[in-house]
Amino acid sequence: MATCFLLRSFWAARPALPPPGRFRPEPAGTPRRSYASGPGGLHADLLRGDSFVGGRWLPAPATFPVYDPASGAKLGTVADCGVPEARAAVRAAYDAFNSWKGVSVKERSLLLRKWYDLMIQNKDDLAKIITAESGKPLKEAQGEILYSALFLEWFSEEARRIYGDIIYTSAKDKRGLVLKQPVGVAAIITPWNFPSAMITRKVGAALAAGCTVVVKPAEDTPYSALALAQLANQAGIPAGVYNVIPCSRNKAKEVGEVLCTDPLVSKISFTGSTATGKILLHHAANSVKRVSMELGGLAPFIVFDSANVDQAVAGAMASKFRNAGQTCVCSNRFLVQRGIHDSFVTKFAEAMKKSLRVGNGFEEGTTQGPLINEKAVEKVEKQVNDAVAKGATVVTGGKRHQSGGNFFEPTLLSNVTRDMLCITEETFGPLAPVIKFDKEEEAVAIANAAEVGLAGYFYSQDPAQIWRVAEQLEVGMVGVNEGLISSVECPFGGVKQSGLGREGSKYGIDEYLEVKYVCYGGL
C-alpha cells in the first residue's frame, strides 16, 4: 500500500532553520536537510497515497516515490496507476455521470460550495502539502490555495446560471429551443506548478456543468490532488464524480493514451507543454473528443519609453519570479525601448538583489524556492550559457545557487539577441533576458514572432499606443501596466500553439457543455 509516513514525520520533526536567504555550501557528501516539517502539525487525513476511484481509496499493484525538490528527501510513495486502473476510473466516472447529470443545479451548487468551505477550513495544511511537494514558498502556496478555492466558489455560482434560449423562427408555428447539457466524462490532466489551482479551475467547471471527471495529476505533485479528493468526499460529492489516478513518469504515456482514446470519455482538458498537447490531440482526434488545451507560453514583457519605470520593474518582478519563474504566463522575453533601457535594467537588478531570497519554501522570508527537479535546473543553465556564449551580459545571478540541489540564482541578462535560446524557448525558471529595441513596430514584431501566444505584457502611458499594442499582440491575455493577470472571473487561455478553449470566468463552464437545438412545432 502506498504510504505517506515520511511526509507525516516531517511535520513532527522541526529542525532549527538558518536565517532567511542565507546558505552555506554543505560539505561534500552531506545530504541536504528537509524543512518540510514547517511549523505545526498536519492532519493525517489529507495525506493519501492510494488512488481515489468510485468513492473509494484503492491501492495499485505498484507505487512510485514523491520527493521534496528542496532537499531531495523522499516524502512518501503513491499508487502507480496503469491501464487497468485508468479504465476502472473512467468506468466509475461514466456510471456516476448517469445520475450526476440529473442532479439539480441547486444541489450541485451547494456541494461545490461545501467543497470550497472545506478548502478554506484546511487551507494551512493544503498549503504545506504544496510547498512540500512543489517547493514553492509557503506564502505563495497559501495564495494558491485561496485562489484554488475561489474557482469552486465561482463555479458553484455559475452552476445556477446555465441558461438556454428560445428562438422565434420564420415559421409562425415553430419555436427553436436551445439547451445546454453536460458533455459527459471529462479527463483532466494537470501540471505540477500549480497542483491545486489547475485542478479546481477545470474540475469546478466540469462538475458545475454536470460532468464527472478522472484526474491524472502530475507525478511530481500527486498529494495535492489526493487531498482535494479527500475534501470532495467529505463535502458529499457522490462516488465516481471525482476520481484521481496518480501515476509515475513511466506510466504517464499509457495512462494518457487511455484517457484520450477510451470511448466512454467525451472531453479532454490538459495543461502542460505544447509538445505533449499535440500528442494528446492526436489521440483524441480518432474519436473526435471535445478538447481544451492550455499549453506553453513565451510571454513578451514590453517596456516603452513612456512607461513609469518603477511600475514596470514592480510588474516585472511579480510576473517573472513567482514560483521561481515556473509559470506558463510568466514573462519570458523582456523587450525594453532604448530610451528607458538602462534605467529599467539598473532598477530591475536592484529590485532582484533586494527582494529575492532563495531558500526552502518553509523558511520564513524565502521568496524563491527550488526548481522542480534537476532537469529544470539544467535547462536554465543551458540557456544562460548559450546566451553568454553569443554575447549576452550577466547583470546578476547566472549560475546554480550556492546551496546546491535544484536551486538556481535569480538571473538578469542584458545585450540579448533574438537568436538566443532564452528568447526562442520557454525557460520555466528564474531567468530574465532583456532585448533593446527602438520602435514600437519592432517590439510588436519580436513579440509576435513566436509560434505560441498565451500571455503578453506591456507598460506605456500613451493611451493611443495602449490600444494599438493591446490589439496587435497575438496572445490570448494581455496585461497593460500589470504583471499579474490571472483572475477567477476572467477567461484564461491562449492562441496559436498555446492551446484551445478558455478556463475560469463565465466562459469556462461552456467547455463542458453541449448545445442542443430542439425544434418545437405545431404551435
Q: Could you count the other beta carbons within 10 Å of the beta carbon of residue 70?
A: 28
Which of 260, 328, 330, 422 does the annotation list as catalytic? 328
Give the three-class secondary structure for 247: coil
User: 502 among the known binding-site residues?
Assistant: no
Supply 247's cell numbers.
Answer: 501515476
User: 486 among the known binding-site residues?
Assistant: yes
Which of 133, 144, 153, 294 does the annotation list as catalytic? 294
Q: Are strands 265-271 and 495-496 parallel, antiparallel or unpaired?
A: unpaired
Dist CA 146 CA 390 (whole Å): 43
Helical (H) or strand (E) element with 292: strand 290-294
User: 275 among the known binding-site residues?
Assistant: yes
Yes or no: say if 380 and 371 are a contact pair by the CB < 8 Å rule.
yes
Dist CA 208 CA 201 (whole Å): 11
Q: Judge whether 519 counts as a catalytic residue.
A: no
Dist CA 139 CA 365 (whole Å): 9
User: 277 among the known binding-site residues?
Assistant: yes
Yes or no: say if 246 and 51 are a contact pair by the CB < 8 Å rule.
yes
Yes or no: say if 84 and 60 are a contact pair by the CB < 8 Å rule.
no
Half-sphere exposure for 153 (CA within 13 Å, toward CB): 13
* Rg of the chain taking only CA atoms, in angstroms: 24
How far, CA to CA in Å, does 267 sit from each of 237, 279, 304, 493, 511? Answer: 20, 15, 42, 17, 9
User: 205 among the known binding-site residues?
Assistant: no
Distance of CA 112 to the CA centre of its chain: 21
User: 331 among the known binding-site residues?
Assistant: no
User: 284 among the known binding-site residues?
Assistant: no
User: 201 among the known binding-site residues?
Assistant: yes
Yes or no: say if 479 and 329 are a contact pair by the CB < 8 Å rule.
no
Q: Judge whether 330 counts as a catalytic residue.
A: no
Q: Are strands 499-500 and 495-496 parallel, antiparallel or unpaired?
A: unpaired
How far, CA to CA in Å, does 444 sit from each of 439, 440, 454, 502? Answer: 9, 6, 15, 24
DSSP 425: S
User: 276 among the known binding-site residues?
Assistant: yes
Q: Could you count the other beta carbons within 10 Å of the beta carbon of residue 520?
A: 12
Dist CA 496 CA 364 (whole Å): 41
> Residue 436 pairs with which residues in a beta bridge?
336
Please enumerate, by residue number, every residue annotated as part of a binding site.
201, 216-219, 272-277, 322, 486
Please enumerate, by residue number, every residue annotated as part of a binding site for substrate.
201, 322, 486
Catalytic positions:
294, 328
Please enumerate, by residue number, every residue annotated as part of a binding site for NAD(+).
201, 216-219, 272-277
